[in-house]
Amino acid sequence: MKKTVWTFGLIAGAILSILMAATIPFVDRIGYGAGEVLGYTTMVAAFLLVFFGIRTYRDNVCGGTIGFGRAFLVGTLITCIAGMCYTATWEVMYYTVYTDFGTRFVKAAVDKARTEGKSEAEIAKTRADMEKFAESYKNPLYNSAVTFLEPLPVGLVITLVSAGVLSRRRRRRAESALVTA
């Protein structure tokens, strides 16, 4: 299991890292909302490797059959390795290239509140909340935890779907074997 998990986890992590590094410079131009859509779309593309990792493990290690629990475990481990790569890449970018992220994030949130027509009191509250977040985000442990949690739900959803699809095939084969016997 180790070889499959590490191989597919590192490939998915490399895809996440490369696409993050390629798209982050454009966030100010396209906006944070469009940046989130682009970021999560790239996460879905990278986490498709979870499906292929589970299938490879099922076919090459388990002899063509795998239970839901084992498939879910393999997918979750791939997701965690990819998430760690994503987090490491962001940490390097945040502390070297994108050091003014907090200021940009606060400005973007305040600008969004203004364009939505919020009152000055609501804008001030948004600014205060975002400045508090930006200050907390300077802590490397907090920063890492928040960053790791970004791709995790996407990877887990793809893991659930993949485990369900790939373990169902095992059940179909077992049912067809019973019918022919």
Give per-residue pLDDT as tens, 90-118. 999 999 988 888 888 888 888 888 888 88
Q: What is the per-residue pLDDT for 116?
A: 85
Region 57-71: mean pLDDT is: 91
- Reported as a single tens digit per residue, the pLDDT across 120-179 is 888 888 889 888 988 888 899 999 999 999 999 999 999 999 999 998 654 555 565 566
In whole numbers, what is the pLDDT of the chain averaged over residues?
A: 88
Q: Is the pLDDT of residue 5 over 70?
A: yes
- Reported as a single tens digit per residue, the pLDDT across 72-94 is 999 999 999 999 999 999 999 99
Residue where the block lists tokens 């606060």 = 106
